[in-house]
A and B are shown apart, each in its own frame.
Chain A
Amino acid sequence: MSFSQMSIRQLQQALRDGKTSSVELTRACLARIAATDERINAFVTVCAETALAAAAEADSKLAAGEAGPLTGIPIAVKDIFNTAGVRTSCGSRILENYTAPYDATAFARLQEQGAILLGKLNMDEFAMGSSNENSANGPVRNPWDLERVPGGSSGGSAAALAAGQAFATLGTDTGGSIRQPASFCGVVGLKPTYGRVSRYGVIAYASSLDQVGPLTHCVEDAALMLGVVAGYDPADSTSVDCPVPDYLAGLDAGVKGMKIGLPREYFIEGLDPAIKQAVEAAIEVYRGLGAEIVEVSLPHTDYAVACYYLIATAEASSNLARYDGVRYGVRQQGEGGLSGMYEKTRAAGFGDEVKRRIMLGTYALSSGYYDAYYLKAQKVRTLIREDFLKAFEQVDLLLTPVAPTAAFKLGEKTDDPLQMYLSDIFTIPVNLAGTCALSLPCGMDGQLPIGLQLIGQPFDEMRILQAAKAYEAETDWHQQRAPLD
């Protein structure tokens, strides 16, 4: 078996057995990046030197028998995570020169467990986008088809994995930004429950929706990565002090007797036939494994996208106010004193989509419009959350498609923001409800991967990981690799 087909636990075993070394794995990843990334553009920063130094250190730890669950494993993180000493640009011109003096908690936890940082991954600017075309560093290309998008906003995190450049990556998901690119790139992507993983040090897009999660080749790796990053962080007031189970230990419980709900609002006209077919086939797999399949309803689904684009943009308009050219980032001197400097800095520093969302959010919060937009959206959000909680009174988890289509072509939706927003129609409600979901490969539309979404109850990541693992054991979609030489 080649390294690229091995799980992190298998790699760990190989490292401990001396069949390979962290330096060898790191060199292999760096070589793969060098060979493929001109085409893919997944990395915005590669830390070859520090990665190799850290790998050598990991090897001596392994030799001394002091290995943690990730010791010596080369990983990469979305450029939204602050990494002390390594540039963090968040896909934006306004932060192109920014290096944080501190680490994000989630990244720090990976490092504490021995992970090797290969570099930082491309993304839509400030995590705003569904195709990774809104990046100051240029678009990322899908390793399965270079003419197509990898999804977004964690496009680099999914593409790097699919291209074999890293063994696991970290992304963030505000409306589908882990799950949709995972689906487009044929990997596993997990969005934990809001509050499960600390947001400290993660550059904020929409604070009440943002959540950190792993992208991996298989479910077991996702369970391992989640176990490392999850847990209460006193530096994040919204992180929840709730025990983190041993995800790996419980992974093989199976789905026999599990009740799986199919929300009828997610199986709509306009769903691509290939997607429909793949998801229906997956349902049959679950039925065959002894799960009970029932139809449920999430009646407020139709309002989710509109609700999301009011709440997320309102929060973003405030979160992005700090990029004003005063303390850090790129400053543009303008005429007209202070306000001239503000205007020119922000006009030159932000891309179109970011500006569009700041304006939308500013409007939604404005005096005279607040009640009609922001407040109304918050009320709808409560209804959407209640939809899910009611459904979970009947079923253990929900099964849906991740996206209405497989990866679309570069440029296909860039002129039509609304069409672009609708590609997150099945993922957005989960963020609004604040619960957990994952995407796993479940078929192919020609040469393009298709993703299956499993949605779990709040803080019950265990159950969706178990269900995903059961599916994975029955199928080999997760073993498919992008035809990238």
Chain B
Amino acid sequence: MHSRYEVVIGLEVHVQLTTKTKIFCGCSTAFGQEPNTQTCPVCLGLPGALPVLNQQVVEYAIRAGLATNCRIAPRSIFARKNYFYPDLPKGYQISQFELPITEHGWLDIANAAGEKKRIGITRIHMEEDAGKLLHGGNSGSRVDLNRACTPLLEVVSEPDMRSADEAIEYLKQLHQIVVYLGVCDGNLEEGSFRCDANVSLRPFGQAELGTRAELKNINSFRFIKQAIEYEVERQAELLDEGGKVVQETRLFDADSGSSRSMRSKEEAHDYRYFPDPDLVPLVIDGAWIERVRAELPELPEVKRRRYVEQFKLPAYDAGVLSAARATAEYFEALVGLHAQPKICSNWVMGEVSRALKENEGTIADCPVSPGLLAGLLKRIDDNTISNKIAKTVFEEIWRSGKSADQIIEEQGLKQVTDSGAIEAILDEIIAANLGQFEELKGGKDKMLGFFVGQVMKASKGKANPGMVNQLIQKKLAE
């Protein structure tokens, strides 16, 4: 990153909402359907059709606003953003301009030094998406309006970020929050979370902002970092040579890792925003806001801190377990049944996560429920089975859905704690391996492992390893 200039970054993120239907009509928002099959007169922009606001979208916007510390406006209005493009069926996009639903929020991120840094959120507003153009060689371009009228939140930050890394930190946190809230599926490849970045430079110490360039529609964290870093270099070189940055919109090309100018300020559209006369002002009462607030899930950052404080988990464990809502829910259910957080954490991050990965499953439909897993952990805790046998039992629960107790019973896996039985086995093994036993007696400690191993093997893993150890010590002392 450049040392001569201070980098100033503000982000605009488009979050596609997971409502079942579109923002202004009843059509499905399902992704990947045949072109123009998820459409009706409203989202096709047919003459005479009128928009009707989807309440669920408002609910989601309130959720996102509250989770990012925004103020929810008691009265907000929709506006038309006018411009011509073939993927925009009405010739205008219904968005919010003056009086958006939420304003004045913030998120805390960790900066490079690991310190807390507050990033301002200017506003979050609701709007409809446009359709998609399919460019098809000789047959010309075609328009697919399945995506038209899909609900979006546009989250606009203050120009508070000072490096690409801070921008990525902010984006990751925002991404985590909207997914946590259940308002967005977070799928970057499908465009559910898209980012525009406003980047400018200024000499250190200057209060006034430099001229910015806007980088459009970048859909992966890696590309955002690349695009910002490329832009910082480009502007720094320009300024170093005594040149000026022009205000423009630039398109980032991931293949070449560079960007090109899309339109200058002079060519920028005059969107002629005005209140949409087809929609009445949106009035949100305090009771609605409070209901949504009460139903908000605990957010990842708060969870992470709680796991460290309440469960005494290492920061690493707390971070992994709180990163996704489903994982956190699984973990918390497990701890509720088996009050040994660190052991629970080990199992969720270990066996559960390994088995899910192998079977390409998600934790939400993990065949070993927190209840089944707690049943297993209880048997380790009371020495019925060893940790090692427990892993085998886990596999069997996964396959059969049976309880740990049932499997232990059926397969006779109960640990042998009868010292007479273990001693008999040990005696046999010593008799068969007298030479090694002499070596152990002579102080060759690594022979200890050999004898424990042999006893475990002979007992098919059921001997209690602690007891085996004690008995060997006894034999040595005899």
Which A residues lie at the B interface, using CB under 8 A? Answer: 81-82, 88, 90, 95, 98, 100-102, 104, 199-204, 206-208, 234-238, 314-315, 317-318, 320-322, 324, 326-328, 338-339, 342, 362, 365-367, 370, 374
Decide: A366 and B270 in contact? CB cutoff 8 A: yes
Given A237-B278, A326-B143, residue A367 in contact with residue B270 (CB < 8 A): yes
- If A200-B50, A328-B46 touch, whether A321 touches B82 (CB-CB below 8 Å) is yes
B274 pairs with A322, CB closer than 8 A: no
Q: From B274, which residue of chain A is reached at the shortest CB distance?
A: A365
What is the minimal beta-carbon distance from A95 to any residue of chain B, in angstroms? 7
Say yes or no: is B311 at the interface (Cβ < 8 Å to chain A). no
If A208-B277, A318-B91 touch, whether A237 touches B84 (CB-CB below 8 Å) is no
Task: With a 10 A CB-CB cut-off, give which of A202, A237, A315 has the most chain B CB atoms.
Answer: A237
User: Could you tell me which B residues sit within 8 Å of A by CB distance?
Assistant: 41, 44-53, 80, 82, 84, 86, 89-92, 143, 270, 272-274, 277-280
- B residues near A367, Cβ cutoff 8 Å: 270, 272
Complex Cα spacing A298 to B53, Å: 36
Contact B48 A104 (CB under 8 A): yes
Known contacts A102-B41, A318-B92, A365-B272; is-contact A237 B277 (Cβ 8 Å): no
The answer, among A88, A237, A324, for a CB contact under 8 Å with B91, is A324
B249 to chain A, nearest CB (A): 17
- Report the separation of the CA atoms of residues A201 and B51 in the bound assembly, to the nearest whole angstrom: 11
Chain A's closest residue to B87 (CB) is A326
Chain A residues, Cβ within 8 Å of B80: 318
With CB as the reference atom, state the residue of chain B lying closest to A326: B86
Known: A318-B82, A322-B91, A342-B84. A82 touches B47 (CB 8 A): yes
Interchain nearest-CB distance for B184 vs A (Å): 26
Nearest Cβ distance between residue B57 and chain A, in whole angstroms? 14
Q: Report chain A residues within 8 Å CB of B50.
A: 199-200, 235-238
Alpha-carbon distance A204/B92, docked complex (angstroms):
14
Tell whether, in the assembled complex, residue B143 and residue A327 are in contact, meaning their CB atoms are under 8 Å apart: yes
Given contacts A322-B89, A365-B82, contact A82 B48 (CB under 8 A): yes
Residues of B within 8 A of A339 (CB): 84
Pick from A95, A201, A237: contact of B53, CB below 8 A: A237
Name the B residues within 8 Å of A236 (CB-CB). 50, 52
Which residues of the other chain, A, contact B280 by a CB distance below 8 angstroms? 237-238
Main secondary structure of the interface of A (DSSP, over half): loop
- For the complex, would chain B's binding face be called helix, strand, loop or mixed by DSSP majority? loop
- Point out the residue from A98, A207, A322 that lies within 8 Å of B45, measured CB to CB: A322
> In whole Å, how far is B272's beta carbon from the nearest beta carbon of chain A?
4
Say whether A88 contacts B277, CB under 8 Å: no
Whole-angstrom distance between the Cβ of A232 and the nearest chain B Cβ: 12
* A residues near B52, Cβ cutoff 8 Å: 234-237
A64 to chain B, nearest CB (A): 34
Given A237-B53, A318-B80, CB of A100 within 8 Å of CB of B274: no
Q: Which of A100, A200, A315 contacts B277 (CB 8 A)?
A: A315
Provided the pairs A318-B82, A326-B143 are in contact, do residues A366 and B272 lie with their beta carbons within 8 angstroms?
Answer: yes
Known: A102-B41, A365-B272. A237 touches B86 (CB 8 A): no
The total of Cβ contacts below 8 Å across the A-B interface reads: 100
Which chain B residues border A235 with CB–CB below 8 Å?
50, 52
A318-B82, A365-B274 as given contacts; A100 in contact with B44, CB under 8 Å: no
* Neighbouring B residues of A100 by C-beta, 8 Å: 41, 46-48
Expressed in whole angstroms, the Cα–Cα distance for A200 and B52 within the complex equals 11
A481 to B41, alpha carbons, bound, how many Å? 41
B194 to chain A, nearest CB (A): 23
Determine the distance from Cα of A342 to Cα of B86 in the docked complex, in whole angstroms.
Answer: 10
Complex CA–CA separation, A318 to B41 (angstroms): 18
Chain A residues near B47 (CB-CB < 8 A): 82, 88, 90, 95, 98, 100, 203-204, 322
B432 to chain A, nearest CB (A): 87
User: Does the CB pair B272–A327 fall under 8 Å?
Assistant: no
Report B-chain residues with C-beta under 8 Å of the C-beta of A88: 47
Given contacts A203-B48, A204-B48, 7 further A-B contacts (CB under 8 A): A82-B46, A95-B47, A204-B47, A237-B50, A237-B279, A317-B272, A318-B274
B95 CB to closest chain A CB, in angstroms?
A: 13
For A199, the closest partner residue in chain B by CB is: B50
CA–CA, A437 to B352, complex, Å? 72
| Chain B residues in 8 Å Cβ range of A201 | 48-49
Q: Which residues of B contact A207 (CB under 8 A)?
A: 277-278
The 10 closest A-B pairs by CB, nearest first: A321-B91, A208-B277, A207-B277, A365-B272, A201-B48, A203-B47, A367-B270, A326-B86, A82-B48, A322-B91
Beta-carbon nearest neighbor of B40 in chain A? A102
Could you say which residues of chain A place their CB within 8 Å of the CB of B270?
366-367
Task: Give chain B nearest CB distance to A143 CB in angstroms.
Answer: 29
16 CB < 8 A contacts A-B:
A95-B47, A98-B47, A100-B41, A100-B46, A100-B48, A101-B46, A199-B48, A200-B49, A208-B277, A238-B277, A318-B82, A326-B86, A326-B89, A365-B273, A365-B274, A374-B274
* Option from B45, B49, B278 in Cβ contact (under 8 Å) with A327: B45
Residues of B within 8 A of A98 (CB): 47
When C-beta atoms are compared, the residue in chain B nearest to A233 turns out to be: B50
Q: Give the complex CA separation of A373 and B187 in angstroms.
A: 44
List B contacts of A204 (CB < 8 A).
Answer: 47-48, 278
Which B-chain residue is minimally distant from A361 (CB atoms)?
A: B272
Q: Which B residues are CB-close (under 8 A) to A366?
A: 270, 272
Task: Please give, as numbers and ranges, the residues of chain A lying within 8 Å of B53 by CB-CB distance.
Answer: 237
List chain A residues, Cβ under 8 A from B92: 318, 321
Closest A residue to B86 by beta carbon equals: A326
A234 contacts across to B, CB distance below 8 A: 52
A73 to B430, CA, bound (A): 110
Per the bound structure, the CA–CA distance linking A366 and B92 in Å amounts to 14
In the assembled complex, how far is the CB of residue B67 from the closest CB belonging to chain A, in whole angstroms? 28
Given the complex of chains A and B, what is the CA–CA distance between A365 and B90 in angstroms?
17
Bound-state CA distance A238–B280 (Å) is 6
Bound state CA distance, A199 and B270, in angstroms? 29
- List the A side residues contacting B143 at CB < 8 Å: 326-327
B464 vs chain A, min Cβ distance (A): 71
Q: CA–CA, A256 to B224, complex, Å?
A: 76
Determine the distance from Cα of A173 to Cα of B254 in the docked complex, in whole angstroms: 54
Say whether B51 contacts A338, CB under 8 Å: no
